[in-house]
Structure 1
């Protein structure tokens, strides 16, 4: 891999990822335990690498990372090509996801504040806000221990089942947090990164709204979950394992 003297490889991507980490902390889209974020990049020789946050990004560094602390990692060997941090134990999950779908450009795992409630229940999060409808189902996966090959293999199989939906998807990891993936054959890695940040943020708002609609159902004010003027299901559907979203309205993939 070649790069200008005095510069670090993938400098622009690493600077941007460091900014995204700070923004994620500021928005309470993760907690002090942090999570981990990666993008899939290629050099001038078309060789693939992961640009990835180091372990302890939030607890040790309080989310205040420099570009040099962001790692450039060789896939599968897990060799650090550049960077001063240490590789997270959850790189196995990132690797497994990238192997499952070659068009995924970003894997974004965080411990988001409001979404964690739904993740701990084992219930699928009702998708009720307009901004989140592009994600369709927001499912809570079965529990597997964090950082294990067991979890990595399980998530990989779930990604394979999604096909192209994995190119804009949000999962809840049971009792663990959120997992967003984004990409496309011609999508730039930083575009995928920013879309993932947007998705975790809007899902946080949805988590809060869905919880309040749940309370209104229990108090008898509502007879179900509502999205864009449509009743999309009930609490009983959620208890039965249904992942609710608004199937009646064509979704706008762009923002406001």
Structure 2
């Protein structure tokens, strides 16, 4: 579908999503199962649409998606308005999150390897770095099968109960999910990518601090120059993050 100016419908937004998919793939922030990414936009009349990656974006297309393969989905009917590809079955999870908090403008679901380690171990990631402190606790939700109604419902309940944004949480044995707001959907998905990358680094750092504690080299988890928790707290499922006030930067 083309506009009267000869451009694809939401061409700029789809080009940016195509770029984001490539970046996430090239930086190893997801695996062949891919995950799925979406953000909201609207036309001149205020009608809402979801800009979304198609099914099998990594498995079949290796993360190399031209803008034409990025889908434009009607927000209300969940039908494809434009784009070459099939709608992922996890549209139900994205839609559930958008309805659970109208301030959400982007949803990013990835299978980042270091984060997936914690999600599979069923342990909340200790949040230690300054770059990830705004998301505070990084919880892990109860397991529900991929693409299932149960998974969408689990994510919806979490967002309803945690309205502050951004939200970053793990899906047990599945990956992570970021819900973000912004001045636009495009701004929100770019912000979500930054959270994804900084969290993946934090997940690796948290793993290494955990190992060093097990070896007796460290006596706890350290963040911003202070000891904030111990290995026993991790074992007990305590949400570990630095509670000190954010005083600089954005």
The TM-score normalised by the length of structure 2 is 0.97
Could you list the runs of 5+ residues in structure 1 that have no partner in the other structure? none
* Contact 1:39/1:189, CA 8 A, preserved across alignment: yes
CA–CA distance in structure 1, aligned partners of residues 247 and 126 of structure 2 = 16
Could you tell me which residue of structure 1 aligns to residue 216 of structure 2? Answer: 220
Which range moved further: 232-241 or 33-42? 232-241
Distance 1:251 1:171, change over 3 A: farther
Could you tell me which residue of structure 2 aligns to residue 172 of structure 1? Answer: 170
- The count of corresponding residues between Structure 1 and Structure 2 is 250
Could you tell me which residue of structure 1 aligns to residue 58 of structure 2? Answer: 58
How big is the shift at 1:231? Answer: 1.1
Could you list the runs of 5+ residues in structure 2 that have no partner in the other structure? none
* Contact 1:36/1:108, CA 8 A, preserved across alignment: yes
Could you tell me which residue of structure 1 aligns to residue 152 of structure 2? Answer: 152
* Contact 1:124/1:238, CA 8 A, preserved across alignment: yes
Distance 1:251 1:178, change over 3 A: farther
- Tell me whether 1:211 sits opposite 2:207 in the alignment: yes
* Contact 2:141/2:154, CA 8 A, preserved across alignment: no
Could you tell me which residue of structure 2 aligns to residue 245 of structure 1? Answer: 241
CA–CA distance in structure 1, aligned partners of residues 66 and 199 of structure 2 = 27
CA–CA distance in structure 1, aligned partners of residues 249 and 50 of structure 2 = 27
Query: What RMSD, in angstroms, separates the aligned Cα atoms of the two structures?
Result: 1.4
Q: How does 1:125-204 map to 2 (within 5 A)?
A: 125-163=125-163, 165=164, 167-184=165-182, 187-204=183-200
* Contact 1:133/1:251, CA 8 A, preserved across alignment: no
How big is the shift at 1:251? Answer: 5.3
Could you tell me which residue of structure 2 aligns to residue 16 of structure 1? Answer: 16
* Contact 1:71/1:84, CA 8 A, preserved across alignment: yes
How big is the shift at 1:249? Answer: 3.8
* 1:134-191 deviation per Cα after TM superposition (whole angstroms, max 9, x unaligned): 111111111011101111011101001111x2x212111100001011104xx11111
